[in-house]
Amino acid sequence: MEDDPLLCLACGRTHAGSERFCAECGTPLVHEYGEEHVPSERQRVARKIKPQYTNGPLVELLRAGNQPQAEFIANLLLEEGIPCMIRNPLAGYSLTGEHIIVVPESAVQAAREALALERPES
Protein backbone atom coordinates (compact mmCIF):
# COMPACT_ATOMS: atom_id res chain seq x y z
CA MET A 1 0.00 0.00 0.00
CA GLU A 2 2.91 2.33 0.76
CA ASP A 3 4.20 1.87 -2.82
CA ASP A 4 0.91 2.99 -4.39
CA PRO A 5 1.16 6.52 -5.84
CA LEU A 6 -0.79 9.26 -4.06
CA LEU A 7 -2.52 12.23 -5.67
CA CYS A 8 -3.03 15.80 -4.51
CA LEU A 9 -6.63 16.70 -5.30
CA ALA A 10 -5.85 20.43 -5.07
CA CYS A 11 -2.99 20.72 -7.59
CA GLY A 12 -3.02 17.30 -9.32
CA ARG A 13 0.59 16.33 -8.58
CA THR A 14 1.45 12.71 -7.82
CA HIS A 15 3.62 11.70 -4.87
CA ALA A 16 5.25 8.60 -3.43
CA GLY A 17 3.05 6.42 -1.27
CA SER A 18 5.14 7.20 1.80
CA GLU A 19 4.16 10.89 1.81
CA ARG A 20 1.10 12.30 3.60
CA PHE A 21 0.89 15.89 2.35
CA CYS A 22 1.57 17.63 -0.98
CA ALA A 23 5.01 19.28 -0.97
CA GLU A 24 3.65 22.17 -3.05
CA CYS A 25 0.37 23.10 -1.37
CA GLY A 26 0.16 21.06 1.85
CA THR A 27 -3.10 19.28 0.94
CA PRO A 28 -3.55 15.73 2.31
CA LEU A 29 -2.85 13.13 -0.38
CA VAL A 30 -5.24 10.39 -1.54
CA HIS A 31 -4.76 7.13 -3.44
CA GLU A 32 -4.65 7.71 -7.17
CA TYR A 33 -5.74 4.30 -8.48
CA GLY A 34 -7.38 1.14 -7.30
CA GLU A 35 -10.32 0.13 -5.24
CA GLU A 36 -11.99 2.49 -2.86
CA HIS A 37 -9.95 2.52 0.32
CA VAL A 38 -11.76 2.85 3.64
CA PRO A 39 -9.35 4.68 5.96
CA SER A 40 -8.64 3.36 9.42
CA GLU A 41 -9.48 5.51 12.43
CA ARG A 42 -5.81 6.47 12.70
CA GLN A 43 -5.66 7.52 9.03
CA ARG A 44 -8.90 9.49 9.36
CA VAL A 45 -7.50 11.41 12.32
CA ALA A 46 -4.16 12.03 10.58
CA ARG A 47 -5.90 13.54 7.54
CA LYS A 48 -7.49 16.22 9.75
CA ILE A 49 -4.15 17.55 11.00
CA LYS A 50 -2.92 20.71 9.31
CA PRO A 51 0.80 20.41 8.45
CA GLN A 52 1.61 23.96 9.59
CA TYR A 53 0.78 22.88 13.16
CA THR A 54 3.25 19.98 13.29
CA ASN A 55 6.55 21.83 13.75
CA GLY A 56 8.68 22.26 16.82
CA PRO A 57 9.01 20.51 20.15
CA LEU A 58 5.96 19.59 22.21
CA VAL A 59 5.00 22.25 24.75
CA GLU A 60 2.44 22.24 27.53
CA LEU A 61 -0.79 23.97 26.54
CA LEU A 62 -2.95 23.35 29.59
CA ARG A 63 -3.86 20.90 32.32
CA ALA A 64 -7.16 19.05 32.37
CA GLY A 65 -8.71 17.84 35.60
CA ASN A 66 -9.44 14.30 34.40
CA GLN A 67 -9.21 11.92 31.42
CA PRO A 68 -12.67 12.65 29.92
CA GLN A 69 -12.01 16.39 30.05
CA ALA A 70 -8.59 15.89 28.42
CA GLU A 71 -10.10 13.76 25.63
CA PHE A 72 -12.80 16.37 25.04
CA ILE A 73 -10.15 19.10 24.67
CA ALA A 74 -8.05 16.88 22.38
CA ASN A 75 -11.07 16.30 20.12
CA LEU A 76 -11.83 20.04 19.98
CA LEU A 77 -8.25 20.70 18.91
CA LEU A 78 -8.36 17.94 16.30
CA GLU A 79 -11.46 19.48 14.72
CA GLU A 80 -9.34 22.61 14.16
CA GLY A 81 -6.54 20.52 12.61
CA ILE A 82 -4.29 20.86 15.66
CA PRO A 83 -2.42 17.73 16.79
CA CYS A 84 -2.01 17.14 20.51
CA MET A 85 -1.09 14.52 23.06
CA ILE A 86 -2.47 13.80 26.50
CA ARG A 87 0.11 13.10 29.17
CA ASN A 88 -0.71 11.72 32.57
CA PRO A 89 2.00 12.62 35.07
CA LEU A 90 1.14 9.47 37.03
CA ALA A 91 1.75 7.32 33.92
CA GLY A 92 -0.95 5.22 32.36
CA TYR A 93 -4.66 5.70 31.85
CA SER A 94 -6.50 7.23 34.77
CA LEU A 95 -9.98 8.72 34.90
CA THR A 96 -9.04 10.91 37.82
CA GLY A 97 -6.06 13.15 38.37
CA GLU A 98 -4.49 15.87 36.29
CA HIS A 99 -3.71 15.34 32.60
CA ILE A 100 -1.40 17.59 30.59
CA ILE A 101 -2.32 18.58 27.03
CA VAL A 102 0.76 19.17 24.85
CA VAL A 103 0.92 20.52 21.29
CA PRO A 104 3.74 21.23 18.84
CA GLU A 105 5.26 24.67 19.31
CA SER A 106 3.87 25.89 15.95
CA ALA A 107 0.31 25.12 17.12
CA VAL A 108 0.31 26.91 20.48
CA GLN A 109 -1.28 30.18 19.33
CA ALA A 110 -3.91 28.46 17.17
CA ALA A 111 -4.76 26.08 20.03
CA ARG A 112 -5.15 28.96 22.48
CA GLU A 113 -7.45 30.73 20.04
CA ALA A 114 -9.46 27.56 19.32
CA LEU A 115 -10.03 26.99 23.03
CA ALA A 116 -10.47 30.72 23.76
CA LEU A 117 -7.72 30.59 26.38
CA GLU A 118 -6.87 34.23 25.78
CA ARG A 119 -9.45 36.92 26.23
CA PRO A 120 -9.94 39.19 23.22
CA GLU A 121 -8.75 42.72 23.81
CA SER A 122 -11.60 45.16 24.41
DSSP for 55-108, please give it.
-S-EEEEEEESSHHHHHHHHHHHHHTT---EEE-TTSS--SSS-EEEEEEGGGH
CA pair distance 48, 41, nearest whole angstrom: 11
Higher pLDDT, 93 or 45: 45
Mean pLDDT of the 32-41 span: 66
Please report the pLDDT score of residue 14 as a whole number.
85
Higher-pLDDT residue of 80 and 27 is: 80
Cα 116 to Cα 23: distance, rounded to the nearest angstrom: 31
